[in-house]
Structure formats: structure tokens, C-alpha cells
Amino acid sequence: MIENDTITSKVGETIQNDTTVKAMAETFEKLTSTPVSEWLPDLVRQYLVPFGIKLLVALVVLIIGRWLIKLAKKWMANGLMHKHGDATLHSFLSNLMAVILNFILIIIIISILGVNTSSLVALLASAGLAIGMALSGTLQNFAGGVIIILFRPFKVGDFIAAQGQEGVVKEIQIFNTVILTTDNKVIHIPNGILATGVMTIFTKEELRRVDWLISISYGDDYDKAKSALLRLCNDDSRILKDPEPFVEIGQLNSSSVDIRMRVWVKSADYWPVFFSMNEKVYKTLPQEGLHFPFPQLDVHLNQ
């Protein structure tokens, strides 16, 4: 009984296939035997015109959608800046919103063109694992960006050092953080590395300590050197008096007496004070009869 049913089923499939092939052959023969002027208008009216209308509508939706996304991004950025004044937050959220809205716009356009979006969504869901594995680094950078926004280790405008680069944070994007170096180079650092790596933030605190190592020759008057250095510190209004400047012998080196000088300044005054003090020390100590030593080696000859 089972064999008979199987045979019957195969025969039915064969007949159906033959019928389909026969219908296709008849259609092709009809098209080739009929003048183009007779069937072309029907083809245009039934297929090309509806598709052309859909394509035109999709193009209009694309143009309007892109304009609305730019408008929404600008509106959101201005609203966040007016309400919170936080450039870090508005930059990240604006870029994130733009990505989501662009994805929605693509789905809408595909739907207008007649593609079954439910099948498309199912296909994307089934391919999610493969996409996630292929874009693991990108997803890590996205997660790093979220962590940076939530925990705020730094913000836009901070001067940071990370991954061998130093600069001012200009923008925190979804996947990267953009910094501007002191010589005006733009560098993109992945957020994943910033969120998990070691980073130095120079502008996090209001005050910073400036350190110098100043060497004088053996035989020079240390008290005179200390007095001259403290005078230079007290004469500079940018150097804080509390905590007071520190000047002491740090090390008795092989060819020099090394003096440690430490002062506290506002973070914004760090480099101006550092460079100006170098110049003042270089000009002042020789006027006090002090000498900057050179490496030297004493050789004793015994006859």
C-alpha cells in the first residue's frame, strides 16, 4: 500500500512539473509570437509602473527621512546642551540616536519597495550570532563607549594620555574617542581600549604639582642656591603659597649636587610655570655664583 502511494505521489509530481514546464513554454511562445507592441504596454502597466511608483516614493521617503534625522540629531544636541551643558553626553547620545533612526529608515524603505520585512528581521535575527562574532571588536568598542558615558572617567575638554597618545578630548563617539594633540593632530582611540586600559587624566584635579631636578657643582653654596630658588618661587604669582614650595637636596650624584624643587599650581598653569621657571633658573643661578656641572672623571697618576 505504501509503495502504491509513493508511486502515485511521484507520478503526480511528474505531471505537475510537466504542466508547469508546458505553461512556461506556452507563455514564452506567446511572447515570441506576439508583437512587442501588444504585450509591452501590459507589462509596463502591470509591473514597471507600480514598481516605479514604489521606487519614487522610497526615494522621497529617503530624502525626507535623512533630513528629519539630521534635524532630530541637531535638536537633541541643542536640547541636551541647554539642559545639562554636557558635551560628552550630547555627543554620544546624538550619534547613537542617528544610528538607530537610520536603521529604522532602511527598514521602512525596504517595506515600501515590497520586501517582506518580517522575513528580513527573521534573517537578521538568525544571522545575529555570526554578525556578533565578526564584529566582536566593534561591539566591544560600543560597550566601552557606554561605560565611559555611565562612569565618566573623563569628559570632553579633558587632557588625557592613553595608548601612547596625549591630547584634549574633542568628542566621544559611539565606537571611538577623538582627541586633539598639542601639535594639532586628530587621533581616534577605540573606546574598548580606553574603558579597560590605563589612562592618565591631567585635568581631572584642580591643582597639579610641578617638579624640577636642578644640579649644582660640588663646592657651590647650597644655602645660596636654596634661597635663590625659593625667591623665584615666591615671586611667581601663579605658584601657590599653600602648600608651600619645597626645595631640598635630593641626591649627591657622582658629578653634581641634585636639588629637588616642587611647587603646586593650578592645572591650567602647569606648562607655563614649568617652562618659565626653567628659563629663570638658568639665568639666575649663574648670577649668584653657582655653576651647572658637567659629567667629570678625576684621574690620579701615581709615579
Domains and CATH numbers, the chain: 41-126 (1.10.287), 153-201 (2.30.30.60), 207-287 (3.30.70.100)
Question: Using CA atoms in the order 10, 13, 15, 16, what is the torsion angle rounded to 10 degrees?
Answer: 170
Of the two residues 31 and 56, the one the predictor is more confident about is 56
What angle (nearest 5°) sits at the alpha carbon of residue 83, between those of residues 77 and 88? Answer: 50
Q: Residue 41 has what pLDDT?
A: 64
Q: Is the pLDDT of residue 69 over 50?
A: yes
Q: Which of 97-101, 179-183, 252-256 has the lowest mean pLDDT?
A: 97-101
- Please answer whether residues 245 and 286 qualify as being in contact, where contact means their C-beta atoms are separated by less than 8 angstroms: no
Q: Residue 258 has what pLDDT?
A: 95
The stretch 232-261 carries a mean pLDDT of 93
What residues have CB less than 8 Å from 196, skipping those under 6 apart?
Answer: 144
Q: Residue 21 has what pLDDT?
A: 62
Q: Is the pLDDT of residue 127 over 70?
A: no
Q: Is the pLDDT of residue 126 over 60?
A: yes
The stretch 188-214 carries a mean pLDDT of 91
Q: In whole angstroms, give the CA distance from residue 145 to residue 174.
A: 6
Q: In whole angstroms, give the CA distance from residue 145 to residue 158.
A: 16
- Please answer whether residues 208 and 270 qualify as being in contact, where contact means their C-beta atoms are separated by less than 8 angstroms: yes
Q: Residue 15 has what pLDDT?
A: 46
Q: Residue 130 has what pLDDT?
A: 58
pLDDT band (50, 70, 90) for residue 160: very high
**Terminal C-alpha separation, the chain:** 126
H or E element, residue 280:
helix 270-287
Q: How many Å is the maximal CA-CA distance in the chain?
A: 126
What residues have CB less than 8 Å from 285, skipping those under 6 apart?
Answer: 214, 216, 225, 228, 291, 292
Q: In whole angstroms, give the CA distance from residue 152 to residue 171.
A: 13
Q: Taking phi first (over 0 means left), then psi (-120 to 50 degrees means alpha), and beta for anything else, what does residue 234 get?
A: alpha
Enter the pTM of the model.
0.56
CA-nearest of 35, 161, 146, 31 to 88 is: 146
pLDDT band (50, 70, 90) for residue 11: very low
Q: Residue 132 has what pLDDT?
A: 57
Q: Residue 214 has what pLDDT?
A: 95
CA-nearest of 98, 106, 103 to 58 is: 106
Q: Residue 150 has what pLDDT?
A: 81
Q: Residue 204 has what pLDDT?
A: 87
The stretch 127-147 carries a mean pLDDT of 70
> How many C-beta atoms lie closer than 10 Å to residue 18's C-beta?
10
Q: Which of 106-115, 126-135, 222-231, 244-253 has the lowest mean pLDDT?
A: 126-135
Q: Compute the radius of gyration of the chain from its Cα atoms.
A: 38
> How high is the mean pLDDT of the chain?
80
The stretch 194-218 carries a mean pLDDT of 92
Of the two residues 49 and 63, the one the predictor is more confident about is 63
